[in-house]
């Protein structure tokens, strides 16, 4: 069974990817790149490779590839969600809604 954090991250990324596609948002923005640069200073080891993958994903603005990297159930996809700058695209109210939805799902399990 996956952790509550894992579930929240899955729901968060599902929600943000739907918003990106629905609103035609771009992910190659200075704000997301800046946040990713900060993240890169906070990680060690293999996570640096994941940050590099994120740099490539953001610069390519390839939503299908990004969706594939954040929607899977594997360990790599989990780490990619963990290091993802994409939740910045959600408003505080949207993030709160994700947390409420995650709690409801967790309680139903």
Two tokens at 72? Answer: 């899977």
Angle at the Cα of 21 from the Cα atoms of 37 and 42, rounded to 5 degrees: 15
What pTM did the predictor assign? 0.88
Question: How far apart (Å, rounded) are the C-alpha atoms in residues 27 and 37?
Answer: 14
Total domains, the chain: 1
Quick one: pLDDT at residue 2?
A: 62
Q: Which domain holds residue 43?
A: 4-108
Q: How confident is the model at residue 106 (pLDDT cuts 50, 70, 90)?
A: confident
Half-sphere exposure at residue 46, Cβ-oriented, CA atoms within 13 angstroms: 5
Quick one: pLDDT at residue 57?
A: 95
């Amino acid at each position: 069974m996956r952790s509550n954090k894992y579930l929240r991250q899955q729901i968060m990324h599902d929600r943000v990817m739907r918003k990106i596609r629905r609103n035609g948002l771009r992910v190659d923005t200075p704000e997301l790149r800046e946040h990713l640069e900060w993240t890169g200073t906070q990680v060690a080891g293999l996570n640096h490779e994941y940050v590099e993958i994120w740099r490539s994903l953001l610069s390519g603005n390839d939503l299908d590839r990004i969706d594939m990297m954040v929607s899977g159930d594997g360990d790599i996809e989990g780490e990619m969600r963990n290091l993802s700058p994409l939740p910045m695209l959600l408003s505080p109210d949207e993030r709160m809604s994700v947390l409420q939805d995650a709690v409801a799902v967790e309680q139903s399990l």
